Structure 1
Amino acid sequence: MGFRPLNSKLQKIAEQELNEVPSRVESDVKVLREWIEKQPHLNARTSDQFLIAFLRGCKFSLEKAKQKIDLYYTLRALTPELFTLREVNSKTLELLRVGCLLRLPKPMEEDGPRIYISKYGNFDPKKYKLADFLKLSFMMSDIQILEDDNAMVKGFIEIVDMTNISFGHLLQFDPSLTKKVSVLGEKAMPFRIKGIHFINIPSEAQSVINLGKKLLSDKMKQRFVFHGNLESLYEVVPRKYLPKEYGGENGTFDEVLHHWEQKLSRYKSYFEDDKLYGTNEKLRCNSNINTENILGTQGSFRKLEVD
């Protein structure tokens, strides 16, 4: 098989929590690949590691995995600001170096979730758009689908550090974009979101966060946690699993960014091939996918508005 064996602890979790049956994985991947090849409207990646990630993300329900892969590519077409021209070039690497997106080298325990840190106050809102960093974030997630067993089996915890968030940053809040990212993350990506933890929240940002929460599903709202200080965060993410800048032992910001710069560079040709994959709605025979139903009463992505 063309995918990595899990370490013993993650394998046990995959079997207990994700319904993974090691002796059946190869045949499940084969069934999923053959289904994709028979869909006239869908041109999807079919590597073993890509497909097993979606099977794990759907607790090995073949029908749910089929729908999630279809939705993954369908929604990408509806969010061009996040998925068009995804290239690893000097601009992409410059965005990374700003330090808004940190995905730490060590998970929580050998069999624990991956830890993300988002520091959007690091970018100059006169120079960059929030959508630029969200595009980069999804590129990093695509790499993790192929490489990160902890993220695929145990999910991730995201820490949103709002230090240095300014009025200029808050003006970039886009309800439509927030809805898109929420639906993509919850419905189309094969990750398990364990929690989104906010720290260092300025008072002027609270109303924007509250507005953003209104656009989320009840399930996603329950994942939001607000911390008044780092000691409160340490109760969820033990200090040693955080970077040195937060008093921990999990690398420094510079080390994390250097690691990801090298990783992204290795995937240059992978993202050059991105344009080869997607959906052709003119060739779609039938589907249970209805983007307006997925988005709820707000309607389609293009029509989404907030009063």
Structure 2
Amino acid sequence: MSPERDGTYVCTLSPELLDQACRELGESPSRRQDDIEAIRQWLLKQPHITARLDDWTILRFLRGCKFSLERTKEKLDMFYTCRTAVPEWFKNRDPLDPKTKQILDLGILLPLPGSDALGRKVVLSRFGRYDANIYTTDDAMKAVAMIMDLMFEDEELSSVCGMMVVSDAEGTTVAHMLSFTPAMAKKAMTLWQDCYPTRPKGINYINTPPGFETIFNLFKSFMKEKMKKRVHVHGSDLESLYKQVPRDILPIEYGGTNGSVDDITRYWAKKVEDKRDWLLNDEKFCVNESKRLGKPKTSSDLFGLEGTFRKLEVD
């Protein structure tokens, strides 16, 4: 359940996790509501932003910015700006659309049940699951964004403890690699690092195919230095993976005990469908650049000119 009631935040953290939020994020329970209200009033004064104004959404961004009000304002502006600039991922998000439903049924992104012993949410990605000759990377990224948005809406632990990603590259083909253009990678990394209030603790690649280094180096070139240090490439060595991601949080197909991939896939496909109204309503939260005070922002400002990127060459 989302930690809110009628738009008002209701803390679901244990005393230990609340103490962690205070120590690591600068959260002050006595000042929390004042900080939320300060951001809400700021958003209401931005003519170009139509934003969610509930406590929980604002608190997520405050935590992601360690309660710096200025950084929170910058990230919220960036969040709504980038979402508006990438309609291929954030518009027409109807889970009943046949193509979208087919992608969701493949389970290319699966937040795993529960959290690990450190409170981190673990997310399994499997981009090799879709046929790159039938579906585009934009199709896949739209489904990914839908699931991520719903996960962040419901997960309070990850706003304090962060998340781990396990990226299983099995099934990745040359067609997949060619579809991940530099422009695509830049958009993905900008959204991940500069827009969402995530606390990424690590990215773990497994079952990496020949040619993986090309894609890996592309994404890595857009990573901040802190993130680069949190990337681990395990190949087919699951024992190496277990040193970063506890075995018991993983599905049985990966040597764990946390349910099956098929069951988790069905859970998320149904959850997204159940949240159809939320997703369709979510599209209204965006920016109108014609109303921005000062110079409007363009896709070039945010991601660079796509025309300046050369196409990938994969051996």
TM (normalized to structure 2)?
0.89
- Which residue number in structure 2 is paired with residue 179 of structure 1? 186
Select between 214-223 and 55-64 the one with higher mean Cα deviation.
214-223
Measured at CA, do residues 170 and 291 of structure 1 come closer, stay the same or move farther in structure 2, by a change above 3 Å? closer
Q: Could you tell me how far 1:90 is from its partner in structure 2? A: 4.2
8 A Cα contact 2:121 2:162, kept in partner = yes
Q: Give structure 2 stretches of 5+ with no counterpart.
A: none
- Which residue number in structure 1 is paired with residue 102 of structure 2? 94
Select between 194-203 and 207-216 the one with higher mean Cα deviation.
207-216
What's the CA shift string for 1:189-220, capped at 9, x where partnerless?
Answer: 00011111111111222223223322333333
Q: Could you tell me how far 1:36 is from its partner in structure 2? A: 0.7
2:144 counterpart of 1:137: yes
- Which residue number in structure 1 is paired with residue 253 of structure 2? 245
Measured at CA, do residues 275 and 290 of structure 1 come closer, stay the same or move farther in structure 2, by a change above 3 Å? closer
TM (normalized to structure 1)?
0.91
What's the CA shift string for 1:221-241, capped at 9, x where partnerless?
Answer: 222211130000011112111
Q: For 1:22, what is the secondary structure of its paired residue?
A: coil
Measured at CA, do residues 281 and 16 of structure 1 come closer, stay the same or move farther in structure 2, by a change above 3 Å? same
2:309 counterpart of 1:305: yes
- Which residue number in structure 2 is paired with residue 279 of structure 1? 287
Distance, in Å, in 1 between the alignment partners of 2:46 and 2:274 is 31
For residues 181-200 of structure 1, the aligned pairs below 5 Å read 181-200=188-207
Q: For 2:42, what is the secondary structure of its paired residue?
A: helix
Distance, in Å, in 2 between the alignment partners of 1:135 and 1:304 is 24
**Equivalent residue for 2:273, pick from 265, 268, 271:** 265
**Equivalent residue for 1:120, pick from 116, 124, 127:** 127
**Equivalent residue for 1:79, pick from 76, 81, 86:** 86
8 A Cα contact 1:180 1:301, kept in partner = no
Aligned residues between the structures: 302
For residues 148-187 of structure 1, the aligned pairs below 5 Å read 148-187=155-194
2:109 counterpart of 1:105: no
Q: For 2:283, what is the secondary structure of its paired residue?
A: helix
Measured at CA, do residues 169 and 293 of structure 1 come closer, stay the same or move farther in structure 2, by a change above 3 Å? closer
Distance, in Å, in 2 between the alignment partners of 1:207 and 1:280 is 37
Q: For 1:171, what is the secondary structure of its paired residue?
A: helix
Measured at CA, do residues 218 and 90 of structure 1 come closer, stay the same or move farther in structure 2, by a change above 3 Å? same
Distance, in Å, in 1 between the alignment partners of 2:229 and 2:287 is 32
**Equivalent residue for 2:31, pick from 24, 29, 47:** 24
- Which residue number in structure 2 is paired with residue 256 of structure 1? 264
Aligned-CA RMSD value? 2.1
What's the CA shift string for 1:161-208, capped at 9, x where partnerless?
Answer: 111212222221211011011011101100011111111111222223
Counterpart of 1:244, as a letter, is I
Q: Give structure 1 stretches of 5+ with no counterpart.
A: none
Q: For 2:9, what is the secondary structure of its paired residue?
A: coil
**Equivalent residue for 1:46, pick from 46, 49, 53:** 53
Distance, in Å, in 2 between the alignment partners of 1:88 and 1:9 is 38
Q: For 2:201, what is the secondary structure of its paired residue?
A: strand
Measured at CA, do residues 140 and 301 of structure 1 come closer, stay the same or move farther in structure 2, by a change above 3 Å? farther
Q: Could you tell me how far 1:42 is from its partner in structure 2? A: 0.9
2:47 counterpart of 1:4: no
Select between 73-82 and 87-96 the one with higher mean Cα deviation.
87-96
Counterpart of 1:278, as a letter, is C
8 A Cα contact 1:175 1:215, kept in partner = no
2:230 counterpart of 1:226: no
**Equivalent residue for 1:211, pick from 214, 218, 233:** 218
**TM superposition outliers: structure 1 runs of 4+ over 3 Å:** 286-295, 301-304
8 A Cα contact 1:53 1:146, kept in partner = no
Q: Could you tell me how far 1:287 is from its partner in structure 2? A: 7.7
Measured at CA, do residues 289 and 130 of structure 1 come closer, stay the same or move farther in structure 2, by a change above 3 Å? closer
